[in-house]
Structure 1
């Protein structure tokens, strides 16, 4: 299998050190081969001058916990190069280290997030690039992502639920090897609306979408009250949850699997994963950042790439 491409993330964050830690333990952990895109000087400093294989690309001084315009430019250039190389077939997938969205937006105003950039780069509509958060305990998908809570009711629709549930079902089969995926769909309102007393989105939008999905052969259930959906006895009844908004999906995943949570983008023609945490500028360079989520992201990318190659 071709190596994975690992982008630097913001070099002022914990990206370089968790990549270096993953590289140091690659043989012990049985990780798939990977190379770092750019940042040879940055990686050498972060890794104590260990020899980590890389591809020539954006570089600079290693200045942990000191984000600036240059670090944002390096992060974006490394990301774009990793995506382009993977699309060109040079790599089996891309693993993206954390970036600061607002910092990149200062140097590239069109930038919203790494998932959206991947969708654009692959020539897909952004509704077709689906963010899944996956850990040992749980897989969740936010239907709406980077938007204000006040905007969520107007953004959810039957078409969006149906479209994204189909993408999730196909990915669970092809990328995770689940032959008959079970997908739980959360309600938007407390108690899933309580028969319309706390909102009608469940009645007017979510339930009809679920009925159509079931009619099409998708094992979708709901709308489920979100306050009980993530309890231990419930988690055994489904393979993934589609939540209505960002925190409804990410809070339980991070509570259960923070150190091993992986952000995987479904629906793309290429494999992409990322550790499910941010740049952590406040602890960068102190040697205390845990590499577990980066290790899990590299492992998952290799497993998905292998399934796709052999499928």
Structure 2
């Protein structure tokens, strides 16, 4: 085993037991992409997933993370999470179920406990379903908000932002899981400036200590000088000016329908003009990245005191249980987590 596993394994949360999360985890282990990883979840659910995806993969219950050292190749170590529903296997595949929502939340809590204690190097989260969380009475709309609350119990939560990234494009969002009407009101100078600062500070983790940050506008044509809305002049421009005064290479605001094409990095034919795009709303920022291929996209929560990544897709209830789910995005999330958690990436 690698020295990374001896010191701090990477933990993968099981995700929603009724979705494709367990299946893509099983595929990742079978393909050899999960070396040095431990699954947090339910052993029976993970054994079912191994069978659904072709078998020939041992699933071992371990009592502590270090026990993974003693396992042979082609074996998935699963650390059972206390407090999971005892009848989790009875939750039907491909359906919203409160039991699956409760289990997913408990796995996330356990992952944060382990990484905050220094027992794990990073967290990779398999997909969860927001309606299943709500059905279980979990008061968070998604991973980002839950991780933010768990990051520093008893203290003010850290300012965090969602980044969706692949090999060609990185987008950081000012607003995420709220209605569009509320999101527009949430686009303030303070929120935009904070997003730029977080993106700049975190970029060193992937080897860009001075990233070129393009700030997208909110309105069509970035407001066209105020003709289509004044948020760019009144709200976004002061944030960019303040960021530049801090020494951050931020520019804009740019028309949101073209800035992503300019930032797309696909050499040699199309080297990107920018390293990061800051987008004002969820769909403005995520549609371009997802259009390039969800199989390579990675969700990274910036601003946490630990590394957390996730695949760029949901629970895919329509194919859950078929064994057809693609593990490429999960593999990319594991690679990104390893890179960000490695000491050399912090320089």
Report the TM-score range of the alignment, normalised by the length of the smaller protein. Answer: over 0.9
Tell me how far apart the structure 1 counterparts of residues 263 and 125 of structure 2 sit (CA, whole Å). 33
CA contact (8 A) 2:299 2:333 kept: yes
Q: Tell me the residue number matched to 1:24.
A: 30
How far does residue 66 in structure 1 lie from its aligned partner after superposition? 3.3
How far does residue 310 in structure 1 lie from its aligned partner after superposition? 6.2
How far does residue 246 in structure 1 lie from its aligned partner after superposition? 0.1
* Structure 2, gaps ≥5 residues long: 59-75, 266-271
Q: 1:35 aligns with which of 27, 33, 38?
A: 38
Q: Tell me the residue number matched to 2:293.
A: 257
Q: Tell me the residue number matched to 1:129.
A: 160
CA contact (8 A) 2:263 2:274 kept: no
TM-score (norm 1): 0.94
Counterpart secondary structure, 1:105: helix
CA contact (8 A) 1:19 1:294 kept: yes
How far does residue 109 in structure 1 lie from its aligned partner after superposition? 4.2
Q: Tell me the residue number matched to 1:206.
A: 236
CA contact (8 A) 1:228 1:234 kept: no
Q: 1:66 aligns with which of 73, 92, 95?
A: 95
Q: How does 1:89-128 map to 2 (within 5 A)?
A: 89-123=118-152, 128=159
2:212 aligned with 1:182, yes or no? yes
Q: 2:282 aligns with which of 238, 246, 251?
A: 246
Q: How does 1:282-301 map to 2 (within 5 A)?
A: 282-301=318-337
CA contact (8 A) 1:184 1:238 kept: yes
Q: Tell me the residue number matched to 2:269.
A: none
Q: Greater CA deviation, 244-253 or 114-123?
A: 114-123
Q: 1:55 aligns with which of 79, 84, 91?
A: 79
Q: How does 1:67-82 map to 2 (within 5 A)?
A: 67-82=96-111
2:347 aligned with 1:305, yes or no? no
Q: Aligned-pair RMSD on alpha carbons?
A: 1.8
Q: Greater CA deviation, 292-301 or 149-158?
A: 149-158
CA contact (8 A) 1:153 1:201 kept: no
Aligned length: 307
Q: Greater CA deviation, 229-238 or 274-283?
A: 229-238
Q: Greater CA deviation, 43-52 or 243-252?
A: 43-52
Counterpart secondary structure, 1:53: strand
